[in-house]
Amino acid sequence: MRQLIPFSIFIILIIFFAIGLTKDPRLIPSPLVGESLPVRQLDELRTAETTLLTSNLIGSSFILNVWASWCAACLEEHHLLMELATQDAIPIVGLNYKDTRQDALRWLDKNGDPYLQTWFDPAGEFGMELGVYGVPETFFVDMTGTIRHKHIGPLDRSNIAKAIDILNAEQNSSL
């Protein structure tokens, strides 16, 4: 029954589509996971001092949160970062991406500053190296400076907890 072929192919296609719907295309693994965080000279947002910003953080695991004052979704996850900062659970470093210093500082003053320090990347060059393609994006970096996990889009409680688990697991296994 040759005329059945188109229908059969179509059914297979529909099954694939149905499975595809259950997956999240934004969960693209970063090629940087498992790699070291690039070491670059960047300005600190508040102090405007240029420092080799990654080196002084190695020794503790931390969260690198890429944000911008123009990004609406960043506001969505902001209260969670504030909460995390008051708990003193893990240091959070901000990467202010494609922004102006003035706007960024005003945003932090208005919404609160959860960041231990904030690196300033007005041209988005460091962001480019990190493969950032949308803001917010969050990198979970272990104590050796290795990126262990990356989250695209606003964080929520469950995925923060999951990411910190991954971070701790990796840390324990490497110790």
Partner 1 sequence: MIPEIGHYALVLALSVAALQAAVPMIGARMGADNLIMLAKPLARAQFLLIATSFITLIIAFVLTDLTVSYVVANSNSALPLFYRISAVWGAHEGSLLLWVLILSAWTFALTLFDKPLPLKLNADIIGILGIISFGFLLFTLFTSNPFDRVIPPPQSGRDLNPLLQDFGLIVHPPMLYMGYVGFAVPFAFAVAGLLNNQINSAWAKWVRPWTLIAWAFLGLGIALGSWWAYYELGWGGWWFWDPVENASFMPWLLGTALIHSVVVTQKKAIFKHWTVLLAIVTFGLSLVGTFLVRSGVLTSVHAFATDPARGVFILMFLAIVIGGALLVFTFYKPDAPQEPHGSALSRESFLLTNSVLLSVATATVLLGTLYPLMIDALGLGKISVGAPYFNSVFIPLMAPLLILIGLGQRAFWTNDSFRRLSNAAKYPLLATIILALGTWGMIDDTSPIMALFGLVLALWVIFSTLAGQIRHYRSSKKLTSPYLGQSISHIGFAITVIGITLVSSYGLEKHLRMSEGETTTFGGYEFRFAGASAISGPNYNGTEAIFLVHSENKFEARLAPQKRNYHSGGQTMTEAGISPGFTRDIYIALGEKINDTDWSVRLNIKPFVRLIWLGAILMALGAITALGFGNATKTSHQSQKSYRINTTTRISE
| Closest approach of partner 1 to the CB of residue 89, in Å | 30
The answer to whether the beta carbons of residues 144 and 174 sit under 8 Å apart is: yes
* Cβ nearer to partner 1, comparing 31 with 59: 31
| Closest approach of partner 1 to the CB of residue 129, in Å | 14
| Closest approach of partner 1 to the CB of residue 133, in Å | 10
Residues found near partner 1 in the complex (CB under 8 A): 1, 3-4, 6-7, 10-11, 13-14, 16-21, 23, 25-29, 68-71, 98, 123-125
Tokens 């500053």 belong to residue = 113
* Cβ nearer to partner 1, comparing 116 with 152: 152
Question: Could you give the CA distance from residue 103 to residue 38 in angstroms, rounded to a whole number?
Answer: 26
CA 96 to chain centre: 12
| Closest approach of partner 1 to the CB of residue 33, in Å | 12
Q: At what angle do helices 72-87 and 157-174 cross, to 10 degrees?
A: 50
* Cβ nearer to partner 1, comparing 12 with 175: 12
Task: Give the H or E element holding residue 80.
Answer: helix 72-87
